[in-house]
């Protein structure tokens, strides 16, 4: 029995007897192994659910469904012995609901306050789950819950940011095998990487897809900050002729491996070094780097240098980009911009900088990729430069 002394009453107020539920279950035995549900009147659904949970027979994997106009079917794993219900039936067509992280954390005894403080989002990169650093109830239990939620993953890491010009991730393993090397597949492009050694920003996915869509066959592209091939690989897979430059030796190693993995070695030239030292001629130039501080974070949660600092770092490479870009070519410049400056601020600054170099820029688009930090957006300015 629950605290509801009236039990489960029918329309004229009489208590339903326990053997009524038993007979209903017996009558449904022809449905074989179909899961069970306890039928209660709608006003008692919340109280009955609490009672079923207390008995340990409530089935969290299935959804509550209407039984008729006045009752609902509460999913149970077996017929309740303490909670009064109107009847127990089998559900030959159960509706399973997707369990979320909160469910798995509650299974581990987390309080509602602890669950509320758990991460609301995380990234799955291949077989590695990446969660932003935070003050969580128990990191190990959080990691185990994420592994249970994502059955194909084998490692969970907390990320605290990226450091230095090479944008090296600051990670610590909290669950699983500890193997941070993986292959991430995104719209047919395969990215091999080690999440502990090179950064990968899941929030840039739409932009990676976009770059593969906008290039033309045999178009000459210079990717000035190629990384492991974030933008270079989709463009090369679209049959553009891509020169991909990367300064970080670890990222460069994966760039070369990924060209082979995606079978684009014929139209992707990987160069290890500073993009300002590369002699190239291009119809399109991608500037996907806008600077990092000592604790900047590709997940957009770390301490950050000022917007002006980031933008200045991006514009420091503009002369090299313009030297490579043919008249009539397209420039894609990434920048971190305060939302109050959008959309005109970054476009005006790029137009003025191109004019100072003796050329003209027509702004084709200012596109927000994702939120960078509170009030700051990661944007891309597309411009045709004559």
Q: What is the pLDDT of residues 300-325, one digit of tens each?
A: 333 334 444 445 566 789 999 999 99
The mean pLDDT of 358-385, rounded to a whole number, is 90
Q: How many angstroms separate the CA atoms of 237 and 231, rounded?
A: 10
pLDDT band at 293; cut points 50, 70, 90: very low
pLDDT band at 370; cut points 50, 70, 90: confident
pLDDT band at 96; cut points 50, 70, 90: confident
Residue 326's pLDDT is what?
Answer: 97
- Least confident piece of the model among 46-55, 198-207, 306-315: 306-315
Please list the residues that pair with 155 across neighbouring strands: 128, 176
Instruction: Write out the two tokens for 174.
Output: 């909290």
pLDDT averaged over every residue in the chain: 85
Q: What is the pTM of this model?
A: 0.71
Residue 152's pLDDT is what?
Answer: 84
Q: Is residue 151 scored above 70 in pLDDT? A: yes
Residue 95's pLDDT is what?
Answer: 85
Residue 226's pLDDT is what?
Answer: 96
Residue 268's pLDDT is what?
Answer: 98
Cis geometry, peptide bond prior to residue 225 (ω within 30 degrees of 0): no
Taking a C-beta distance cutoff of 8 angstroms, is the pair 232, 264 a contact? no
Residue 260's pLDDT is what?
Answer: 98
Distance of CA 47 to the CA centre of its chain: 37
Residue 312's pLDDT is what?
Answer: 55
Residue 321's pLDDT is what?
Answer: 95
Ranked by mean pLDDT, which of 38-52, 207-221, 287-301 comes out on top? 207-221
The mean pLDDT of 34-56, rounded to a whole number, is 90
Residue 306's pLDDT is what?
Answer: 47
Q: Is residue 1 scored above 70 in pLDDT? A: no
Q: How many angstroms separate the CA atoms of 322 and 70, rounded?
A: 71
Q: Is 342 exposed, middle or buried (0-12, 13-18, 19+ CB in 10 A)?
A: middle
Ramachandran region of residue 238, left (φ > 0), alpha (ψ -120 to 50) or beta? alpha
Q: How many angstroms separate the CA atoms of 102 and 345, rounded?
A: 41
Question: Is beta strand 361-373 parallel, antiparallel or unpaired with respect to 376-385?
Answer: antiparallel
Give the SS3 label for residue 223.
Answer: strand
Residue 336's pLDDT is what?
Answer: 85
Residue 267's pLDDT is what?
Answer: 96
Q: How many angstroms separate the CA atoms of 114 and 145, rounded?
A: 14
Residue 291's pLDDT is what?
Answer: 55
Residue 31's pLDDT is what?
Answer: 53
* pLDDT above 90 as % of the chain: 63
pLDDT band at 264; cut points 50, 70, 90: very high
């Amino acid at each position: 029995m629950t605290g509801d002394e009236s039990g489960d009453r029918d329309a004229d107020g009489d208590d339903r007897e326990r053997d009524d539920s038993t007979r209903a279950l017996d009558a449904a035995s022809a449905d074989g192994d179909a899961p069970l549900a306890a039928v209660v009147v709608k006003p008692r659904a919340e109280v009955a659910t609490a009672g079923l949970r207390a008995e340990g027979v409530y089935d969290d994997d299935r959804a509550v469904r209407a039984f008729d106009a006045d009752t609902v079917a509460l999913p149970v794993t077996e017929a309740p012995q303490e909670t009064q219900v109107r009847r127990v039936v089998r559900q030959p067509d159960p509706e399973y609901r997707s369990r979320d992280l909160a469910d798995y954390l509650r299974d581990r005894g987390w309080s509602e306050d602890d669950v509320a403080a758990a991460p609301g989002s995380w990234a799955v990169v291949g077989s590695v789950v990446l969660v932003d650093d935070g003050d969580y109830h128990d990191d190990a239990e959080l990691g185990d819950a994420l592994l249970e939620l994502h059955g194909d993953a084998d490692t969970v890491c907390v990320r605290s940011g990226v450091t230095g010009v090479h944008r090296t991730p600051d990670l610590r393993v909290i669950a699983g095998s500890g193997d941070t090397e993986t292959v991430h597949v995104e719209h047919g492009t395969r990215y091999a990487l080690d999440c502990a050694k090179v950064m990968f920003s899941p929030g840039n996915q739409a932009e990676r897809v976009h770059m593969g869509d906008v290039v033309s066959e045999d178009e000459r592209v210079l990717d000035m900050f190629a990384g492991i091939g974030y933008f270079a690989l989709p463009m090369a897979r679209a049959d553009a002729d891509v020169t991909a430059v990367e300064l970080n030796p670890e990222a460069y190693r994966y760039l070369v491996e990924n060209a082979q993995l995606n079978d684009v070695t014929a139209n992707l030239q990987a160069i290890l070094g500073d993009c300002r030292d590369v002699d190239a001629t291009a119809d399109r130039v991608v500037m996907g780097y806008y600077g990092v501080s000592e604790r900047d974070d590709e997940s957009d949660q770390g301490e950050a240098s000022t917007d002006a600092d980031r933008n200045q770092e991006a514009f420091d490479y503009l002369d090299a980009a313009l030297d490579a870009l043919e008249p009539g070519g397209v420039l894609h410049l990434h920048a971190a911009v305060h939302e109050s400056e959008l959309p005109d601020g970054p476009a005006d600054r790029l137009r003025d900088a191109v004019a100072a170099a003796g050329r003209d820029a027509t702004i084709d688009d200012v596109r927000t990729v994702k939120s960078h930090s509170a009030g700051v957006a990661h944007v891309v300015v597309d411009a045709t430069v004559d």
